[in-house]
Amino acid sequence: MSAATRHVLFVLLALLAVFVTAAWNLPRAWLGSPLSLLPPVLVCAALQEQGSAWQWVAVVGGLARDSLSLDPLGVSILPLYLTGWFLSSHRELLLSELAFAQAILGLAVGAAVPLLTLGLVVASGDVPAMGGRLFWQWLVLTVSGGLITPAMFRIWRRVEAWFAHPMIPSTSFREDREILRGKY
């Protein structure tokens, strides 16, 4: 699969995550907060892709998230970009193949992105309602990010398998071998 195809698939996955977060009201009704689906996509893009897929996820996903929320437009881009940059620059040090490590990274990004976004919203002059409800929403976003991230890696592997070319099985015949033919 080409790098451009992978980038487009990650952006589509990010847009789907933002749409599901906005449209799925069941967690909002039960928990009082939506689930965090965009940070797991960012973690997966930053750890699975060598190129700039995580940057596209941060910018396009952040703009889509802000357009469907009450946040000022563009305020989510910087927190997503900073966390994606950190994960991408430390990719070799992170154990991205282990589900436990994926969950821990999802918890960390799920906690950092809302806090950084809150800091930017407060710095811009808007004062959100602070209190126990805000802490509960942050806790739900953090835990959901940690639980959904290993599943997002599995979903990405399945998407890769759908779009990748199948491997051709190797045969025992070597092309550089000369076959000598006798009389019989």
pLDDT of residue 14: 94
Phi, psi torsion values for 97, nearest 5 degrees: -90, -15
CATH code of the domain in which 120 resides:
1.10.1760
Which DSSP state fits 33?
Answer: S
The model's pTM: 0.83
Whether 94 is covered by a domain: the verdict is yes
CA distances from 95 to 46, 55, 92, 153, 176 (A): 13, 21, 8, 13, 41
pLDDT of residue 173: 67
Whether 166 is covered by a domain: the verdict is no
Q: Which residue type occupies 105?
A: L
Whether 179 is covered by a domain: the verdict is no
Tell me the pLDDT of the chain (184 aa) as tens digits: 788 888 899 999 999 999 999 998 898 889 888 888 999 999 999 998 877 889 999 999 999 999 988 888 889 999 999 999 999 998 888 877 889 999 999 999 999 999 999 999 999 887 777 888 889 999 999 999 999 999 999 999 998 888 877 777 776 766 776 667 777 6
Whether 168 is covered by a domain: the verdict is no
pLDDT of residue 37: 92
How would you label 152-166 residue by residue, b for 16+ Cβ within 10 Å and e otherwise? bbeebeebeeeeeee
Whether 183 is covered by a domain: the verdict is no
Q: Is 22 exposed, middle or buried (0-12, 13-18, 19+ CB in 10 A)?
A: middle
Whether 173 is covered by a domain: the verdict is no
Query: How many domains is the chain partitioned into structurally?
Result: 1
Q: Which domain holds residue 111?
A: 3-161
Work out the number of other CB atoms within 10 angstroms of the CB of residue 184.
Answer: 3
